[in-house]
Structure 1
Amino acid sequence: MESHAKIEDLGKPRVVIVGGGFGGLELAKALRHANVQVVLIDKQNYHTFQPLLYQVATAGLDADDIVSPFRKILESQDNVFFRLAEVQSVDTAAQVVKTSIGLVKYDFLVIATGATTNYFGDKKMEKNSIAIKSVEDAIMLRNTVLNNFEKALQVGDVVEMNSLLDFVIVGGGPTGVEIAGALSELRKHVFPKDYRELDFREMDIHLIQSGPTLLKGMSEEASQKSLEYLRRFGVNVILDRRVKSYDGYTVTLNTGETLITRTLIWAAGVAGAPIEGIRKESVLKGNRYQVDEFNRITGYHNVFAIGDIAAMTTPEYPEGHPMVAQPAIQQGKLLAKNLANLLSSCALEPFHYDDKGAMATIGRNHAVADLKLFNKEYRTQGFLAWLMWTFVHVISLVSFRNRLAVFISWTWSYFNLDKGLRFIIGNKREPVPVEETAPKEVV
């Protein structure tokens, strides 16, 4: 019989939160004064500010700048217990969560596991491409880019050298657009100084979007302006094309066109990360749990889901709310109130998403912003949008240390046109040997 994890029993209703992303962390913080015991479980001991992962991947920020330890964030809350563990399954009948450190009993379970990269079943793409969903992914991408440039200095074949210098980014959402813009800045201001022997006019950046517009979900003005900026910065934006396959060397599009690259960055989609043990009837398209207006998973009275893993379908959001930070944060705050309401037999408050808009940066002094303030919409592009984006992202970081570190790094980079974190430490993706891939062919 499996033993229970060693966690002090406070004699209060226990709320177990699986996942310390934006939603799970906000819920834990909001339960500060509630008469409950909170157990937060995560496979990492830190919270990651995911919107800035691409900055780590492109040497703009250190990983330490965008992460903060859970124990430090929650140190003043006596009712919160953190456990570093991998959740394996849940037994809703016995009300226990099976983890790598043992069983954890709950009175209320909140699943906030977020999302994982969706390769749409393409195992070869999963093996050969690099996504940016974690700190490890971002560091691997940075290491791979720098390692490929080092290798480019050693090869004599022009085609093989170009394959090491060229990049293909799949997905025209905020992540794809932002990393394309960051790479174009590195190509212009940084790499030519580091690698003087390479001709960076040969470094091609391709951004492939399956639909007709970039930044789907934002305004037409934002989409068009981001396209204009990227093309001005020398990014080859390819619309209405899908990547059919990638073998580590040749990218084949659905039109039959091919591109050559050793670095394909996958930013094309995400899916929920469900836990074994929740009834399959409650899982919708995209591996998200169907929840009611109180974030309860359908079919359960004491099991909830918030954030990316939760699909609260409404006429306005027929596929669930956007898989971004704000819905998760707002759901976490409201669920804390509703758990207190449940314990005091009060009526629950339904969730209504306060959409504050969206932003994306395409590089230094260039960004797009669609804001919703006081029931009015405001749209701006260029330098003002870039200032807004910078301010919002700095103040949204969890700790003062993170805010200060990011502000200093960005200020230094702005005035010096430099990104100083160009070192190779840790894992990197070695290029697939040419002989193991399709014949060389450049289009």
Structure 2
Amino acid sequence: MVNENEEIKISQSELPRIVVVGGGFGGLRFLKKIDTNQYQVVLLDRYNYHTFQPLLYQVATAGLEPDSIAGPLRKSFQNKKNFYFRMATVSCINSDKQEVETNIGRIKYDQLVLACGSLTNFFGNDEFEEKSFPLKQVPHALNLRSQILQNFEKAVLKTDENEMQRLMNYVIVGGGPTGVEVAGALGELKKHVLPKDFPELNLNKMQIYLIEGQERLLGAMSEFSGNKAFEYLKKFDVNIYVGKIVKSFDGETVTLNDGMQIPTETLVWAAGVKGNAISGLTLDITPDNRFKVDDYCQVVDYENVYAIGDVASMFSEGYPKGHPMLAPVAIQQGELLASNLNSLKKNKPWKSFSYQDKGTMATIGRNKAVTELLGKFKFGGFMAWLTWMFVHLILIVEFRSKIVIFGNWLWNYFTYDRGTRLIIRPFVKNKAGKKPKKESQEEVLVA
């Protein structure tokens, strides 16, 4: 049995120790660039793999296998000396003792890098957290995939029209990139795949609802992109409601703030994220649960503690509310911090962070995407879709995964098929209509 008060056993070294919490985009890029000839590096993460989160929605809608978007962390750094990985849940930072407390013990650090990402933001509503489907982790995607496929297997057995409709309705909350992409993927399933699998069902009855509180889709992108996304989703017969808010969900009915009710058993929550700030460093936490950092990613008022990516909030003239919680920000901050810590050992001056916004994009389905590059070029359609595919393939960590994903995309494109329509792990609600407790709560303590 593990004693949480014991120290985690790591080989002793004369090198200063950097402890990194989180193997997401920022943590991974930091680890690749840090000089382990100069430092001993210990990575802590609750999973033993890195998740390529932008493609989770494709796992959830049977387009990709989960292992194609997840790469083993040990494999990524197996040739890096003075590197150690420990699978652990981080509970607290003790800055006075320079220790990280975890479920497997304590570990001391000389430098601490917090790259623990973000959590789904339910805005304090326990009902949504317990009964909806977030999409931040591989288990979330597998839960949603099982739910979708199980619903149709149940629907073919129903004779009551109301029960059948409830099973075939899907409500997505949030009209940002994740919400738009999930809606588009469900639209493709409805149009191309499910009619072949369930010929006894009238798939015209399947209704997809996208609810967005702002007045248009893709609020973080241009009006051009929002309008294009709206146009593409309408081609999939997605019911789009902007300027409306989901008020409640009892597991069977979604109620909007205007009183509209939608019968459904599946509410996908894509309405926002918040920082995954770990307890212990409480001097300066933003309202969205992020650590305030300076231009060098150093947590304010903590000399040897740094935060990068979604959990870091760096204010500047161009970003008065902090940088967007996007993978490119985390990647660039991870690279800069590693470079600065390498410079520290060579007595070279540090460089401050300046975000290079190369663009944003979202895909809605086959040949349908929106792309904005360098703040100047905005385009949609087939070329935007190809650009989206290329960029995501480049960012995938494992070469094998690039091949697998590209192969899946080619197969899907030419056959109009989804090859992973498997209920490997059935999703089961408890008697109260809630998700199992262990999976209904996202732990606020790790990457």
Q: Same fold (TM over 0.5)?
A: yes
Query: SS in structure 2 opposite 1:282?
Result: coil
Residue pair 2:361, 2:369 contacting (<8 A) in 1 also:
yes
> Are 2:104 and 1:101 equivalent residues in the alignment?
yes
Deviations 1:362-415 (A, max 9, x none): 00010000011xxx6211100000011011111210011000000001101100
Of 407-416 and 29-38, deviating more is 29-38
> Are 2:3 and 1:4 equivalent residues in the alignment?
no
Deviations 1:252-286 (A, max 9, x none): 1111111111100000011111111112x310011
Deviations 1:147-181 (A, max 9, x none): 11111111211011000001000000000000100
Query: SS in structure 2 opposite 1:6?
Result: coil
Which amino acid in 1 is paired with 2:228? K
User: Offset of 1:429 from its aligned partner?
Assistant: 4.3
Residue pair 1:45, 1:70 contacting (<8 A) in 2 also:
yes
Equivalent positions of 1:19-98 (< 5 A) are 19-32=22-35, 34-98=37-101
Q: Distance in 1 between matches of 2:384 and 2:390?
A: 10
Distance 1:431 1:388, change over 3 A: farther
User: Offset of 1:10 from its aligned partner?
Assistant: 2.1
Which amino acid in 2 is paired with 1:316? G
Match of 1:258 in 2: 261
User: Offset of 1:340 from its aligned partner?
Assistant: 2.1
User: Please, which of 197, 206, 223 is the counterpart of residue 209 of structure 2?
Assistant: 206
Deviations 1:213-250 (A, max 9, x none): 11112111111111011112100110000001100111
Equivalent positions of 1:402-417 (< 5 A) are 402-417=401-416
Of 252-261 and 1-10, deviating more is 1-10
Q: Distance in 1 between matches of 2:20 and 2:321?
A: 24
State the TM-score, normalizing by the size of structure 2: 0.94
Match of 2:339 in 1: 337
Computed over aligned residues only, the root mean square deviation of the Cα atoms, in angstroms, reads 1.4
Match of 1:123 in 2: 126
Q: Distance in 1 between matches of 2:229 and 2:111?
A: 44
State the TM-score, normalizing by the size of structure 1: 0.95
Residue pair 1:36, 1:79 contacting (<8 A) in 2 also:
yes
Match of 1:326 in 2: 328
> Are 2:156 and 1:153 equivalent residues in the alignment?
yes
Unaligned runs of 5+ in 2: 434-447
Which amino acid in 2 is paired with 1:350? S
Query: SS in structure 2 opposite 1:255?
Result: coil
When the two structures are aligned, how many residues end up with a matched partner? 430
User: Offset of 1:427 from its aligned partner?
Assistant: 4.3
Distance 1:239 1:38, change over 3 A: same
Q: Distance in 2 between matches of 1:427 and 1:211?
A: 35
Query: SS in structure 1 opposite 2:330?
Result: helix
Q: Distance in 1 between matches of 2:157 and 2:92?
A: 49
Query: SS in structure 2 opposite 1:392?
Result: helix
Query: SS in structure 1 opposite 2:62?
Result: coil
Deviations 1:64-101 (A, max 9, x none): 10000011111110121111111111110110111112
Query: SS in structure 2 opposite 1:367?
Result: strand
Match of 1:350 in 2: 352
> Are 2:396 and 1:394 equivalent residues in the alignment?
no
> Are 2:252 and 1:249 equivalent residues in the alignment?
yes
Distance 1:433 1:307, change over 3 A: closer
**Identity of matched residues, %:** 49
Superposed structure 1 runs of 4+ greater than 6 Å apart: 431-434
> Are 2:369 and 1:367 equivalent residues in the alignment?
yes
Match of 1:441 in 2: none
Equivalent positions of 1:176-325 (< 5 A) are 176-279=179-282, 281-325=283-327
Residue pair 1:32, 1:79 contacting (<8 A) in 2 also:
no
